Amino acid sequence: MTEIFGIPIQAFLGQLLLGLVNGSFYALLSLGLAVIFGLLGIINFTHGALYMIGAYIAWLSLEKLGLNYWWALLVAPLVVGALGIAIERGLLRVLYKLDPLYGLLLTFGLALIFEGVFRDQFGVSGQQYQVPALLRGSTDLGFMTLPNYRAWVVVASLAVCLGTWFLIEKTSLGATLRAGTENPRLVQGFGINVPMMITLTYAAGAGLAALAGVLAAPVIQITPLMGSNLIIVVFAVVVIGGMGSILGSIVTGLVLGMVEGLTKVFYPEASNIVVFVIMAVVLMFRPAGLFGKEA
Amino acid sequence: MNKISKTTTARALALSALLGVAGAAQAQISGNVIRIGIITDMSSVYADIDGPGAVEAMRMAVDEVGGAVNGKKIEILSADHQNKADVAATKAREWFDQQGLDMLIGGTNSGTGLSMATVAAEKKKPFLVVGAATSALTGAQCTPYTVHWAYDTVALAKGTGNAVVKAGGKTWFFLTADYAFGSALQADTTAVLTAAGGTVVGSVRHPLGASDFSSYMLQAQSSKAQILGLANASGDTINSIKAAKEFGVTKTMKLAGLLVFINDIHSLGLDTTQNMYLTDSWYWNRDAEARAWARKFFDKMKRMPSSLQAADYSATKQYLAAVKATGTDDADKVLAYLHKAKINDVFAKGGYIRPDGRMVHDMYLMQVKAPAESTEPWDYYKVVDTFKGESAWTSKAETKCPLWK
């Protein structure tokens, strides 16, 4: 059996593939964050909580309404998007005139509140969510057995990421969006409703978080803590990729997922912190992030 | 800076002398209140097995004696250590120094258990540790003030480790939580299974509260061991078992959950966990007395109590009984009484406390029922074997505790 860096090549490839799966998760989550920050300048700490709420909506809609996974993929982003509209209209809008720090504190506080409410209701041991029937089972790839559901996660995440990137960077809607956030007065002068655009962008970011939550539900325990466990890593991903860059966060998410996966093989105790070590290094040499534009 | 006049100084000294004397006279029950506290994980991975349910269990014990002992009110304090040893130690210190805490109950997370034990020994106050598992609490780090009430990593290793090896699981791969508890559990289980003729072919450590175990599953599979030993707890165990099922590890390896609580089984469901062996100190459906107490707990908390929550109740109840019998909350007198007492309540029968601080009682080897065998919600276990008294714990020959030589 051939070995690479001391472990059999089969195991190595398997870990790389798993890293890709996790990376596509990071990419999807950091996408929503990058959209909100890149376009609106809001550091959205609520992102992890919205991801968690998305997963809970998937579980609740199955338990109480009998809606299956495929419906949840549609319903959860819509519901959380509506929640996002409420948050932006009701709370964030008030703080735009002030220091951006206030927005950060507000979103952080909201995250704690959401987490607390769900923890009070559901406890922390978590809920079970079954993999949808269509995606059950696994495929033997030779070097490892990959559960079909994980393959679906990669495909779905990448499709959504690329679709969003295309929408923002290559379409006229995206162009309007980017213009509206760079120079709202001018764009408003053209008759475009900039405040509504901003609200809908925040809602879209929230919807992306919820979508990631639904994708995650069958894989990890649905607990109130699932968001806070992940959100710090996602922030690091966005910072490394460049806070304003959509493509940056997608690419970085994938690469870091793989780096983390390999760390789990060679030095698992460090797998929690490797992303932050990379972040520290990147910030030292390129403060704007790998793909970011210098402010 | 004002100069303090001589008169003021004299007055201050006189007052403190008076207070000192008055304090000594009141030393029977310090501060006229019996203050007991618990510092545990209230909001994170271990919150369900102990957490707010532990406070409720303590409250049940306090209510049973009518909220007071010998006319002195009982007060319960609780705090969240967030699984951080320094937060736990700081809180314990603050309570002992500023709040007049008389007795501390130790919650989950062995790192915090060890740090709080140090503080309690320094302050010379009783520390009844329930949630933490590491055997070091009654081993190398034993103190005259620590009593390890419910379970420890040695008992888990002897129970589940032996049972699995006897059932044919000779080669093991460990998935270990990377902190005090995981290392202790892996070390104690390794000792037990090598003595029983097994071997450890590999191991991997994961961070506490890791969300994704897929990578570790691959490593476990490539080790070709028969048994995947899960030296972790609660949320981590649940995620490990889920991942093991998803990646087909359960097709080629058997899972040995070295620390499993009923909340974990409830969360995973019997389909996934049936036939799994586990060792625990108490089960709500063990006998009529346990059932009755558990139903009272269920009415308040809407879930069945874990063994830890029953132990929190027991520790509180026995402490209050000791305070009543000795007429004081003086730490040394109460501990002396407890060390001589027989522990008989819903949690333990015929229990007693050894010189190393270990509360000796029966442990149970249990097996998770198949879905068809379960007659009601939370009816998950069948008792396969009982480890009576001393057989479950570290023996005098093996102990590293300098107090028990």
Distance from C-alpha of A17 to C-alpha of A262, rounded to nearest angstrom: 10
Distance from C-alpha of A200 to C-alpha of A184, rounded to nearest angstrom: 15
Distance from the first to the final alpha carbon of chain A: 51
Query: Would you state the structure tokens that stand for residue A282, as one six-digit string?
Result: 């990147």
Question: How many Cα atoms within 13 Å fall on the side-chain side of residue B258?
Answer: 37
Please state, in angstroms and rounded to a whole number, the distance separating the CA atoms of residues B387 and A55.
Answer: 42
Asked whether residue A175 carries a pLDDT value surpassing 80, the answer given is yes
Q: Is B118 on the interface with A (CB under 8 A)?
A: no
Closest CB from B210, B216, B222 relative to A8: B222
* Dihedral over alpha carbons A186, A187, A192, A195 (to 10 degrees): -90
Are A220 and B204 inside 8 Å of each other by CB? no
CB contacts of A13 in chain B (<8 Å) are none
Q: Do A264 and B263 touch (CB under 8 A)?
A: no
* B41 or A267, higher pLDDT: B41
**Which pLDDT score is estimated for A188?**
82
Calculate the alpha carbon distances from B371 to A53, B269, B374, B376 in Å.
30, 9, 6, 10
Say whether pLDDT at A35 is over 60: yes
> Which strand (E) or helix (H) includes residue A172?
helix A172-182
**pLDDT mean values, one per 10 residues, chain B (405 residues):** 59 55 53 93 88 95 93 94 93 95 95 95 96 93 95 92 89 94 93 93 88 86 92 89 86 90 90 88 94 96 94 96 93 95 94 94 93 93 91 90 89
| Contacts of residue B239, Cβ cutoff 8 Å, sequence gap at least 6 | A220, A221, B210, B211, B212, B213
* Distance separating alpha carbons of residues B344 and A188, to the nearest angstrom: 77
C-alpha A85 chain-centroid distance: 18
- Cβ within 8 Å of B, A 234-263: 261
Residue B236 CA, distance from chain mean position: 17
Q: Both tokens of residue B74?
A: 């009982």
- What distance in Å separates the CA atoms of residue A258 and residue A67, rounded to the nearest whole number? 34
For residue B145, the distance in angstroms to the closest alpha carbon of chain A comes to 32
* Angstrom distance (rounded) from CA B9 to CA B15: 10
State the average pLDDT over residues A106-114.
Answer: 94
Contact (Cβ atoms closer than 8 angstroms) between residue A59 and residue A66: no
Contact criterion met (CB < 8 Å) for B219 and A11: yes
Q: Is A80 left (phi over 0), alpha (psi -120 to 50) or beta?
A: alpha
Task: Say if CB A150 and CB A219 are below 8 A apart.
Answer: yes
SS3 B256: strand
Token pair for B281: 């100190």
- In chain A, whose CA is at the least distance from the CA of B264? A125
Q: Are A76 and A214 in contact (CB under 8 A)?
A: yes
In this structure, are residues A67 and A279 in contact, taking their beta carbons and an 8 Å threshold?
Answer: no
Element (H or E) spanning A15, and its range?
Answer: helix A9-40
Q: Say how many residues make up chain A.
A: 295
Count the neighbouring beta carbons within 10 Å of the beta carbon of residue B151.
27
Q: Is pLDDT of A265 > 50?
A: yes
Does B212 touch chain A if contact means CB atoms closer than 8 Å?
yes
pLDDT at B1: 46
CA-nearest residue to B269 within chain A is A128
Give the single-character DSSP code of A131: P
Q: Which pTM does this prediction carry?
A: 0.79
Cα–Cα dist A106/A38, whole Å: 18
Structure confidence at residue B108 (pLDDT): 93
What's the pLDDT score for residue B357? 94
Q: Please give the average per-residue pLDDT across A22-45, as a whole number.
A: 86
